[in-house]
Structure formats: C-alpha cells, structure tokens
C-alpha cells in the first residue's frame, strides 16, 4: 500500500483515530514543539486535515500536503498540494516550519531538511514531532509487541485495518531521532521524548 493511498483512504477518520491512539495527547505533543517557534509565517509541512490549526493563532500559515483528500478537510485558507522534498517557495520565505507525524512518510528526510533549510530565513526554526520506538531496547521490544496487536485492532474497529498495519510498520522504518537529527544542515536546538515509554519525540532545528 503506497503512503499516498493510505492518507487518501483514511482522511475522514484520521483525526478521530489519531486522538484515540495517542490517548488524547496528540495536540499536547504538537503544542510543546510549536512553543519553540518564532511568530510570523509558518509552513505546516504535511499539514493534512489541519489538526494543528487551533494552535497556530500567532502565525500566518500555509498548509502543504501531497494528499488533496487530506487537504480538502483543512480549514486553512492557504493550502498547497506538494511534497516536502520539493517545496514550491522562494528561499527564506518562512520564519517557521512545523511538521507533525509526517517524517516516517517522507521518501527522503535529507531532501526535505535541505528544502526546509532553503525556505527558512536565517534564525528561522523548524519544529518536528513524530512517533518512533522507545530509546531503551527492552522498552522498544515491549512497545513493538503492544503496537503489533493494538494498532490493527483499533484500525479494524474504525474500518481501516490495512492502514494501521502500515502505521505499525512505519514505526520501525527510521533510525532513532538521536541519530537521525545528529547531522543536518540545521543546528539542533533541542530534542526530547514524550508519551508512554518515550515513543514520541520532538526536535527543534534552527537555520544559522
Ligand atoms: C499522519 S498524517 C499527519 C497530518 C498532520 N500533520 C497532523 O498533525 O495530524 C501524515 C501526513 O503526511 C503527508 N505526507 C506524506 N508524504 C509526504 C511528503 N513527501 N511531504 C509532505 N507530506 C507528506 C500525508 O499526506 C499526511 O497528510
């Protein structure tokens, strides 16, 4: 199943299931990352249905996503269908970039971070939130076991079993964030873990 099809298929159920799976914490995890961003123009990279819109009051937002189905449910007036790996904006156009629960779905994190670096102004910041596995190997094993059972079951209840099998597999796709963001074109300002066993992370990067 391609990632484009996953989000086209679950667009209408996405927000509800996401809230259930995160025990209602998904917005709190987004908010903690948004708090690190300077006010002004903000690109919501992979903004989807606009789940974060309510915490963007101090920003002038452009929502970008490759899925027109997800974007059609997004209430932001400025919406752009595009991918993170090729951003249709001029250099230095944004004060801030925010991206929540998107990184696992990218074809290339390196190309996307190069593009984020290009479109940020000097001193601008990117804040990223995503899911992965806990840092400690024993906790990661426990989490892998639990999510293999829980995610397809919740997906089946919501009529989207295959999509949530895909979600479970995606949690093992990338290296831990401590490795992934160690060497990027942007300076790392902060990186933290959140959620049960620390399977959620936030990272803040700055353009020098
Ligand atoms: C799990 S949803 C997250 C949506 C939203 N950011 C949120 O916080 O609820 C992942 C989103 O990433 C988008 N996406 C997938 N591939 C992408 C890419 N290459 N560039 C940008 N967004 C992408 C999907 O279409 C989907 O809307």
Contact by Cβ (8 Å): 65, 81? yes
Q: Which residues contact 19 (CB under 8 A, 6 or more apart)?
A: 26
DSSP structure class, residue 140: H
pLDDT in tens, 21-62: 888 999 999 999 999 999 999 999 999 999 999 999 999 999
3 ligand 1 Cβ < 6 A: yes
Residue whose tokens read 């910041």: 125
pLDDT of residue 1: 53
pLDDT of residue 184: 98
pLDDT of residue 16: 79
pLDDT in tens, 160-169: 888 888 889 9
Cα 202 to averaged position of ligand 1 atoms, centre (Å) = 16
Mean pLDDT score, 159-188: 92
Cα 101 to averaged position of ligand 1 atoms, centre (Å) = 7
Query: Residue 208: exposed, middle, or buried by beta-carbon count in 10 A (0-12, 13-18, 19+)?
Result: exposed
Which atom of ligand 1 lies closest to the CA of 83? 20
Cα 197 to averaged position of ligand 1 atoms, centre (Å) = 24
Task: Report the CATH number of the 3-206 domain.
Answer: 3.40.50.150
43 ligand 1 Cβ < 6 A: no
Q: How far is CA 150 from CA 22, 68, 128, 181, in A?
A: 12, 29, 25, 29
pLDDT in tens, 56-113: 999 999 999 999 999 999 999 999 999 999 999 999 999 999 999 999 999 999 999 9
More confident residue, 11 or 132: 132
pLDDT of residue 57: 97
Q: How far is CA 160 from CA 69, 85, 94, 167, 177, in A?
A: 16, 27, 36, 11, 28
């Amino acid at each position: 199943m391609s990632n484009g099809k996953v989000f086209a298929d679950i667009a209408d159920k996405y927000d509800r299931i996401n809230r259930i799976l995160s025990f209602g914490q998904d917005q709190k995890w987004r908010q903690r990352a948004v708090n690190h961003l300077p006010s002004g123009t903000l690109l919501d990279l992979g903004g989807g249905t606009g789940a974060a819109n309510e915490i963007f009051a101090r920003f002038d937002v452009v929502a970008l996503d490759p899925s027109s189905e997800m974007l059609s449910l997004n209430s932001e007036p400025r919406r752009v269908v595009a991918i993170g790996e090729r951003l249709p904006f001029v250099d230095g156009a944004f004060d801030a970039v925010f991206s929540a629960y998107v990184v696992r779905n990218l074809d290339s994190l390196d190309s996307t971070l190069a593009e984020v670096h290009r479109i940020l102004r000097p001193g601008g910041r990117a804040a990223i939130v995503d899911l992965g596995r806990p840092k400690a190997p024993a906790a990661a094993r426990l989490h892998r076991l639990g999510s293999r059972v829980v995610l397809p079951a919740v997906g089946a209840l919501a009529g989207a079993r295959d999509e949530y099998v895909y979600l479970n597999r995606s949690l093992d796709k990338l290296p831990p964030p401590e490795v992934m963001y160690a060497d990027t074109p942007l300076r790392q300002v902060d990186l933290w873990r959140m959620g049960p066993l620390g399977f959620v992370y936030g990272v803040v990067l700055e353009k020098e």
